[in-house]
Chains A and B, each alone.
Chain A
Amino acid sequence: MIGGSSPVLQLGVRTATPLAILVGVYLFFAGHNAPGGGFAAGLVFGAVVTLRAIAGIQRPTHAMTLLSGGTLMVIVVAAIPLFFGEPLLDQAVGSIEVPLLGKVKSGSALPFDLGVSAIVVGLIIALLDGLGVGDITAKRPQSPDSSEVAS
């Protein structure tokens, strides 16, 4: 029983979810000047999703939306500079004054990284779906699996 019946695990994962998401968001934005970035952030979000799957609580299932949205995002960001006579994937950097936060600097790498994150999360959800998670918490093979290849 991987956890479908453990209230401790469920409560633990539920409580950890917002914190882990916060860590992911931090990593996402920190990536510009410190360790982190879209890939790591996506993995953290993916870990949250996987933990929820283990605990048998609701988790995102829109793998296709995330994958297609993320791919579209990175391709659009990559292609936009072409229309301004710049090379593919050329980065635009700008900064704006935001109340409370002060000067915030950002660039087109931000949406690019967002796309990367979305793809990573989408991949993990797809893996979960591929592993047939969902029915896993419900049933478990009764007899020992004897079909291991070439053993």
Chain B
Amino acid sequence: MTVDSFAEPWILWTLLVLHVVAIPLSALGARRDHRLGLGIAAIPPLLTTIWTVILLAGSAEPFTTELLWVEGLDVGFSFRTDSIALLMTLLVSGIGTLVLTYATGYFSSSSAQMPRMTASLLAFSTSMLGLVLADSIWTVFIFWEFTSITSFVLVGHKDVDASVRDAARRALMITGAGGLSLLGGLVILGSEAGTTSLSELEPITGGRGWIAALLILGGVATKSAQVPFHVWLPGAMKAPTPVSAYLHSATMVKAGVLLLAITGPAFVDVATWKWVGLALGITSMLWGGITSLRHRDAKLILAWGTISQLGLLVTLLSVGTAKATFAAISILFAHAIFKAALFAVVGEIDIRTGTRDIRELGGLHRTMPIATAVAVVSGLSMAGVPPLLGFAAKEAAVEAALKLSGIDALIVSTSIIGGSVITVAYTTRFLLGTFGAGPDTSVAPRRPGMTIATTILGLGSIVGYIAMGAVNNIVRPAAIEIDKKAEVYLLYRWPGLTTGFMVSLGIVAAGVVVGAFILNRVDQPAPEARGADMVDSGLDRFLAWAPQPIAAIQHGSLPVYLATMVLVALTATIPFASDIDVDTLVLWDSPFQGALALAIVVAALAGAFVSSRLGAALTLGAVGLGVSGIFVVHGAPDLALTQLVVETVIVVGFVLGLGHLARSFPAAHATWKSVRMAVSTILGVGVALALAASGSNPSGTPPIEELAEAAVDEGGGANIVNVILTDLRALDTLGEVVVLAVVAIGILALANTRETEANA
């Protein structure tokens, strides 16, 4: 078996289907025991991880595969397995497997919410997998939205708590709005680039490039929590820690960065892309880090740190040099590992001590040695200290910043160096505050699921450093995928005494001093979530305001609805009035038509003036009979028959309905009468205009010959109309009858509501 026998589309599809199938199964399993459910949920990600490792280890040839739905629009599911997709798959499925293992320990009792939690975790994992493997912009968008929705469910896990519901709603509204922005951007990008395939994107030069850039950056910034769209991320920390570790540090928040990376090559000539990206990234990097230094909740410290790190990634990718891109991919990889480990440790502390407040935590290095070791290793990796994976990645970023020239050099290098100092500072403060001296916290016993997962994640930073060659084999091709010029770069275990290394040493020294001695105060109050409150109150105000315009539009007056519809219909026909060819208008084809038309007009007028309701219903029936008579004269017996039966049923139905009402119409005001007449006249004129216009413009000859032939050959029937209905155009019929069924179910539901209300 060679590696390429694993690079088969059917394996990818099987894995995806397996994910989807396992979602309900895991929920069923979790109803019995939450560990069983999580175990079932871990199988598809585990298999995907193994598959990805095999492909990566053998440098398998990338392939694309698609399941097309709408041809011509390229709408469908389309996936690719290039290096960056595989790197992200490794993170999504690998960390997914570990998080599900971790969750077996994190969730102790089998609560009623566990089936939902288990199924949503796997559903998120599936969506994320689809997103990172997606090749067409449509597939990207679909799975992007899926991640927003599953994230909403996961954040809102403890749905009895109002603040949790608010946090979930905030996350959904912000990322959802970003999703719409992204859709707009992708549509423009697709039309400018002339392809919907991400792997075939070429630099776009069109004048609308900057709009696409702004819209896509809107999606990126909301998903990857860039200032000022970051306010949902700290709130999302109300989610259980496995969710935070998985979604809000390792994978989902990286979706924006990933998108930035893979669509970046299309925007190399668009200045907006670079400068807006830099502004977002640098602001987030600095603001996230500074806010992180002010929090006392260990989880929030990490969350703000994530915003800062995501800012660094966005900055590096926006710079656009090959070296910066390479550094960004390296940090993306390293960050997923060390940040997931740190979150996992904080979750374990939370569960075993009952607090995450760094003022109350102390002596954990004695009581929780494994967790402490993992946190220290991962924290140092985050700070960029050797011999850890984060060091090599951070080194690449510093090198990339120092290599810049011009105005970029000044802004970007200062920011990256400043951001790195802050990163070291908040890491130091986090580690000292959580694990250092302090009142000894009482600690509950260790839980195997959590320890296994945190240990593996913690070892990741060490193993990544030792096996730097393997990491290079994963990271480098992914960077080359984005920028060909990145092939000259490598991560080094030991870069030698370069300028970059000296700068790194300075960063660490400065950061430690700031974090341990200057800004280590924990007694100041934690910052208030003003941005989040603003979003919440804005949403509340909107919801309080919305009923007014809705009530104004949906006022419930049937005559006004009717008049509106008629006016709109007439307005729509006006442009076609000039198409009317007077020569095609004849009085009648046969005098019968004239007689029938006269009867119809008389019946219609009678219906308008008769005062008895029953009489009006009968005149409507007469109109219908006249119309079906016209169909007969015109040689359309099928239509006539159907019209006849429909009219019969309607008249009988009218008679039934009239039982509820008085026998006569109530007296109407003269003004109102004239309004009704005007509306009716307008409708009549509009329909006449539309019919005359369409009759004057026959588009081609009707395909009667072909239809007649096809009816007998394919449909096996001589009645063309019915063969069209049941065979040639049966899809239309299918749709129509389904609509009928839905309408009927709606009527039944309404009738039932009335009964329930009457009984209440």
Contact = CB atoms under 8 A, between A and B. Distances in A.
B573 interface: no
Given A67-B744, A151-B666, A151-B672, A35 B638 contact: yes
Contacts of B660: 131-132, 136, 140-141, 145
B70 interface: no
Contacts of A116: 726, 733, 737
Interface string A37-66: 111100110110011011000000001100
A126 B646 CA distance: 16
B649 A46 contact: yes
Contacts of B656: 2, 50, 53-54, 128, 131, 133, 136
A90 B748 CA distance: 33
A40 B725 CA distance: 12
A144 B666 contact: yes
Main SS at interface, chain B: helix
Q: What range describes how many residues of A lie at the interface?
A: 35 or more
Given A54-B656, A119-B737, A126 B641 contact: no
Instruction: Determine chain A's interface SS by DSSP, over half rule.
Output: helix
B726 A150 contact: no
Interface in B629-647: 637-638, 640-642, 645-646
Contacts of A130: 747-748, 750-751
B726 A123 contact: no
Interface in B671-728: 672, 714-719, 721-723, 725-727
Question: Considering residues B558, B637, B656, which has the most beta carbons from chain A within 10 angstroms of its beta carbon?
Answer: B656
A89 interface: yes
Contacts of A136: 656, 659-660
B50 interface: no
Nearest to A43: B645
A141 B665 CA distance: 15
A11 interface: no
Most buried by B among A44, A63, A67, A115: A67
Interface size class of B (residues with CB under 8 A): 35 or more
Nearest to A136: B659
Contact of A107 (B557, B648, B716): B716
A146 interface: yes
B652 A40 contact: no
A40 B641 contact: yes
B615 to A, nearest CB: 15
B653 interface: yes
B642 A39 contact: yes
A33 B725 CA distance: 13
A124 interface: yes
Nearest to A31: B722
Of B557, B744, B745, the most chain A CB neighbours within 10 A belong to B744
Nearest to B667: A151
A148 interface: yes
B642 A43 contact: yes
B560 interface: yes
A143 B249 CA distance: 69
Contacts of A54: 652, 655-656
Interface string B731-744: 10110011011011
A128 B748 CA distance: 9
Contacts of A123: 740-741, 743-744, 747
A126 B744 contact: yes
B685 to A, nearest CB: 23
A35 B637 contact: yes
Given A74-B734, A145-B662, A150-B560, A47 B745 contact: no
A51 to B, nearest CB: 6
Given A31-B719, A50-B653, A126 B745 contact: yes
Contacts of A115: 737
Contact of B557 (A122, A145, A150): A150
A85 to B, nearest CB: 16
Contacts of B557: 149-150
Contact of A43 (B638, B646, B664, B723): B646
Given A50-B652, A105-B716, A131-B656, A78 B744 contact: no
Given A51-B652, A63-B748, A136-B656, A109 B662 contact: no
B162 interface: no
B747 A126 contact: yes
Nearest to B726: A109
A137 to B, nearest CB: 8
B558 A109 contact: no
A127 B653 contact: yes
Given A33-B718, A37-B638, A67-B741, A140 B659 contact: yes
B552 interface: no
Contacts of B666: 144-146, 148, 151
Given A67-B741, A70-B741, A35 B641 contact: yes
Given A50-B653, A149-B557, A71 B741 contact: yes
B744 A119 contact: yes
Interface string A86-101: 0011010100000000
Nearest to B559: A150
29 contacts: A32-B716, A33-B719, A35-B637, A40-B638, A47-B648, A50-B653, A64-B745, A68-B741, A78-B730, A78-B731, A91-B714, A107-B715, A107-B716, A107-B727, A109-B726, A112-B730, A119-B740, A119-B741, A120-B737, A120-B740, A123-B740, A124-B649, A124-B653, A129-B751, A131-B660, A133-B656, A145-B662, A145-B666, A148-B665
Interface of A: 2, 27, 31-40, 43-44, 46-47, 50-51, 53-54, 63-64, 67-68, 70-71, 74-75, 78, 88-89, 91, 93, 105, 107, 109, 112-113, 115-116, 119-120, 122-124, 126-133, 136-137, 140-141, 144-146, 148-151
Given A128-B653, A149-B559, 8 more contacts: A2-B655, A35-B637, A40-B641, A88-B731, A122-B741, A128-B656, A129-B748, A133-B656
